[in-house]
A and B are shown apart, each in its own frame.
Chain A
Amino acid sequence: MNAPLLDLKQCTICFGGLTAVSAFDLQIGRSDLIGLIGPNGAGKTTVFNVVTGVYRPTGGTISFENAPIAGLKPSAIARRGIARTFQNIRLFATLSVFDNVRAGFNLRLRHGLAHALWRMRAFYREENEVARQVDGLLDIFDLGKFRDSLCSSLSYGDQRRLEIVRALATRPKLLLLDEPAAGMNPREKEKLMELIRFVKEKFQIAVLLVEHDMKVVMGICQRIAVLDYGIKIAEGTPAEVRANSKVIEAYLGEEAKKT
């Protein structure tokens, strides 16, 4: 088997006396679509924050493409190829849709401060190339028509989509989606599932999905890990997880058996 893209080994995070996540193991391969579920407060978002460098793990190792990334700054981790979205949408509120996506290109700029001031031909070439790629991305996701509008004027679903586009602009190898279906109606959820599948195929990336909506998670994930009080209680295919008695007790409830 190939080395996994992301490898969490015995990952532990404590906040003072509280152990938010303990001895968490997770491997994600290059083209996996993995779900991470669990009750509220189980530590799912904490896992995201550790992987993306917002928190430093108290114990254990995290490696991405065989290199340790624990302790790096979030921006450095993003440069390595991990992008994320947020549970509560975090767009750049005063910037246009175009500029929000453009921000995702910042990390690959070859020309920095001096070029922005001196403005020689190479600068314009790069700026135009960025603009072309941003427009390309916006068009793929049907956001081109909002290009110059303020991102805060977009509808909720469009803002979610824009956040994913912005993450993709960094050309990640791994995309972390934090509850993308929250607040969506069934029709939007259908579209979201399609979108996630599409993104995964089109951009050839791995996806780690935190989600409460079982229909979405069971529908698209190849593998699911279940967290409860910071401990992984199960991992397997959707069918295995659904049948797991621990998972039913902690999270899914008896109802899940019937459906």
Chain B
Amino acid sequence: MKYRHIKKWVLLGAVILSAIGSHFSGGMNSYYLQIIIFIGINVTLAVSLNLINGYTGQFSLGHAGFMAIGAYVSAYLSTEHSAALFKALGTNFFSITLLFIAVLIAGGIAASIAGLIVGVPSLRLKGDYLAIVTLGFGEIIRVLIQNTDAVGGPRGYSGIAGYTTLFWTYSVAALTIYIVVSLIDSTYGRGFLTVRDDEVAAEAVGINTTRYKVTAFVLGAFFAGVAGGLYAHSTTYINPSGFDFQRSIEIVIMVILGGMGSTAGVAFAAILLTLLLEYLRFVAGYEWLPDLVRRIAANRVIIYSLVLIALMLLRPQGLFGRLPRRGIPIGSASKRAKLPANA
């Protein structure tokens, strides 16, 4: 009973920590700060995709598409439609905070509507087929954006305000982790795992598998959209090609690397992979290295393949594996009710 609210406290602690970190980040090297923010965004993306791919067992390859929707919707709103708000409230900390929260949520909602639209018809498909449909969906989004002049089309969309701070990035990451972890650690949330393990059996015990799948898609897409909003307001310039197939693959690799269905592993893998890819930029620049190594280091696709091959050979279940889930009653971690049966 004592530990009942531990998750909420951890969430609050993480939010406070990110606020403190954010406060002292002013003097930081802006390149490092950017990378730290990318890490937070990637954690959000990977953990939310893990809800779809890892816990619910639906292979989605369209996460960059959801991210793109969130990025463009929130960037468009904050750039084109913020004048009225600033006029009414003045340009101050309060109005900016309000605006930023509103556009992030709007981006998330737009992405989750897309998740619903792609989720409902795709749920008749399984495995590879679903992967192909979501992949196609992601590309459709990209092409649509490319042909929308209002957001710059293929030239990209620039002039976005740089609202994203460490605080926002890590608060969102913490909230995403909190939501996924709390969800899975409940009788309701275990339904996601039953859908992954055996859909027929899940239906037979009265679990509406369609509903669970759609819920996973909508929730996962929501956080991908919010992450997209953070990304847009961090780089202040977005381009359709930044949300291509390779971006989706990158997130999928984080999930696979961390271990499907392990939130801690996936978050860890997101950190690791982001750092690795940044470090490889330096490697590609080291003059003393053989030319071949530098070229490989400069090519992400080759690195992804190498990472995946190494993973499949050495640790197919992912870094953190799929640990047997233990059914500890929530809220009372220690005591097990030994009451006379009257079920």
Contact = CB atoms under 8 A, between A and B. Distances in A.
A97 B4 contact: no
Interface in B171-228: 179, 182-183, 186-191, 193-194, 196-198, 200-210, 215
A61 B134 CA distance: 39
B170 to A, nearest CB: 19
B322 interface: yes
Interface residues of A, number: 60
Nearest to A85: B204
Given A91-B201, A123-B186, A131-B337, A107 B325 contact: no
B202 A115 contact: no
A104 interface: yes
A116 to B, nearest CB: 4
Contact of A119 (B8, B203, B340): B8
A92 B193 contact: yes
Given A119-B5, A127-B329, A95 B205 contact: no
A170 B183 contact: no
A147 B200 contact: no
B327 A148 contact: yes
Contacts of A95: 190, 193-194, 197, 325, 327
A83 B190 CA distance: 19
Given A96-B324, A136-B339, A170-B206, A113 B183 contact: yes
A105 interface: yes
A223 interface: no
Contacts of B203: 53-54, 73-75, 78
A114 B330 CA distance: 16
A156 interface: no
Interface string A92-103: 111111110011
Contacts of A105: 187
In the A-B complex, the 9 residue pairs with the smallest Cβ-Cβ separation, listed nearest first, are A98-B327, A107-B206, A131-B329, A78-B206, A136-B341, A74-B203, A116-B186, A92-B197, A90-B201
7 contacts: A73-B208, A78-B205, A91-B198, A112-B188, A116-B189, A130-B329, A167-B205
Interface of A: 52-54, 73-76, 78-79, 83-84, 86, 90-99, 102-107, 109, 111-113, 115-117, 119, 123-124, 126-128, 130-137, 139-140, 147-150, 166-170
